[in-house]
Amino acid sequence: MKRILFALVAGLSALTLAACGAGEQAASSGPVDKAGVQRAKDTVAQYSTRPTELNVTAPVGKPVPTGKTVDFISCAAADCNVIAGVLKASAEKLGWTLNVINSDGSPDSQQKAFEQIVRDKADGAIYIAIDRSVYERYLPQLKANGTWLVSACSANEPGNGIDYAICTPDQQKGAGELMAAYIVADSGGQANSVYFNVPAFVNLVKMQDEFLARMKDLCASCPTATQDIPVTALGNGVPQLIVGYLRAHPQVNYVSLSIDSLAAGLPAALKAAGLDHVKIVGEGGGDTTWQYIKTGDQIASVPSPFVETYLAGLDSIVRHVSGAPQVPSQLARFWVVTKDNVGDTDVKVNGTLPVVAGSDAMFQKLWGVA
């Protein structure tokens, strides 16, 4: 009897949870906005060439002191390790020491990392996607130590202890515009798309807003939806969530991903479900993404300018310790990678892909250590 009761509860739970969803919907489309499609094509054409210059062009202009120490809080993601290597190589050029402090992404490990920075009395510190609430209590000590704090890819604005912020939500939202433009251009104004977002990555929220706004602007008749992916599904649950959504919405022919890693295993899942006509566009990049683009499993990606982001953070520390004026925080220009130009991704710096080819040497030139 109790099992039957439990079965009823489980079934009702499933039904209740399902009722919270959107149910089965039909899609609609209207006349093609030819002007919008043309604007989308122009945007894609403009960003299809790999940028060759940094946005930061002002040399430091003063001697950069040697013997400085920079702490870098790495994260659990594979890319963080690579970034650490890039920063280490540049720090060595400056005659500096870069300490890599590992973190598993938990607030506890992040707080321990900040404790380490306080103990190190580092001249500068760079960290990735850590909210200030985690390290708020260390800010007075860091300020007393004279540590220049660089926040990368978090939602926090500079000020009140954060000396420099880059890869902010506002700076990242341009990738959303490019993804929208690519979908409109590729579909000829006949896209029915869904944008998959990971709400846990708060720094990406404006990218979704921008994607939706640009889709509406470039193709008002293109149905566009959003769907959240729980961070706990990253690893093995994402392909099935996306396949489920696409089966419930068979009119959808484009999938847009807020981070390319959501595509891991997705092409195989789409093929198995007979949904391989659905095209994938993403943001972030990475070796698996380039492989998917080469094999035709994904049509485009807007790579994150990781190398330029963190070198800009190091540049900010260089200018601080040299007494040179700071330059405005800016990301490198975006670039859309497709099958036509994916060959450019084969050239790497310390194992990762700079958006601006040779950006590490360009920064070193600005510092006068090239």
Partner 1 sequence: MTTLKDTATEPAAAPSSPRRSPRWAALGPQNIGAVYILALIVIAFCIYLPVSYPTLATVKQIANGYSLTAMAALALVVPLATRTFDLSFAYVMTLSGVTAAHFVVGGVNPVLSMVLGMLAALLIGAVNGVVVVVMKIDSFIGTLATGSLVQAFIIFFTNDQIISGVQLAGGFSQLAQVQIAGFTGPAVYAVVLAAVLWFVLEHTVAGRRIYAVGFNPDAARLATINVARIRFTALLVSSAIAGFAGLCLASSLSSGSPTSGTAYLLPAFAAVFVGATQLKNGRFNAWGTLIAVVMLGAGTVGLSLSAAPNYAAQMFTGVVLIGALAATGLQRRRVRRG
Q: Can you give the binding site for partner 1, defined by CB under 8 A?
A: 2-4, 6-15, 17-24, 78, 81-82, 199, 227-230, 232-237, 239-241, 243-245, 247-249, 264-265, 267-269, 271-274, 286-288, 290-292, 294-295, 297, 351
Which position has the token pair 């489920």? Answer: 244
Burial (CB count <10 Å: 0-12, 13-18, 19+), residue 213:
middle
Considering the complex, state which of residue 11 and residue 95 has its C-beta at the smaller distance from partner 1: 11
Q: In sequence order, what are the residues at sequence separation of 6 or more whose Cβ sits closer than 8 angstroms to the Cβ of residue 54?
A: 308, 332, 356, 359, 362, 363
Q: How far is residue 185's CA from residue 213's CA, in Å, rounded to a whole number? A: 16
72/135 with CB nearer partner 1: 72
Instruction: Tell me if residue 262 falls in helix, strand or coil.
Output: helix
Minimum CB separation from partner 1 for residue 157, in Å? 27
Residues 6 or more apart in contact with residue 21 via CB below 8 angstroms:
none
* Other CB atoms within 10 A of residue 356 CB: 21
Identity of the residue, 26 or 31, whose beta carbon is nearer to partner 1 in the bound complex: 26
Question: 24 or 277, CB closer to partner 1?
Answer: 24
CA neighbor of 334 nearest in space, from 297, 288, 302:
302
Structure tokens at 290: 């380039």
Closest contact distance (angstroms) between CB of 148 and partner 1 is: 27
Enter the tokens of residue 60.
Answer: 């430091």
CB of 249 to partner 1, least distance (A): 8
Nearer to partner 1, 171 or 256 (CB): 256
Q: Which is nearer to partner 1, 122 or 278 (CB)?
A: 278
**Least CB distance to partner 1 at residue 80 (A):** 8
Distance of closest approach, residue 82 Cβ to partner 1, in angstroms: 7
What is the closest distance, in whole angstroms, from the C-beta atom of residue 11 to partner 1 in the complex? 3
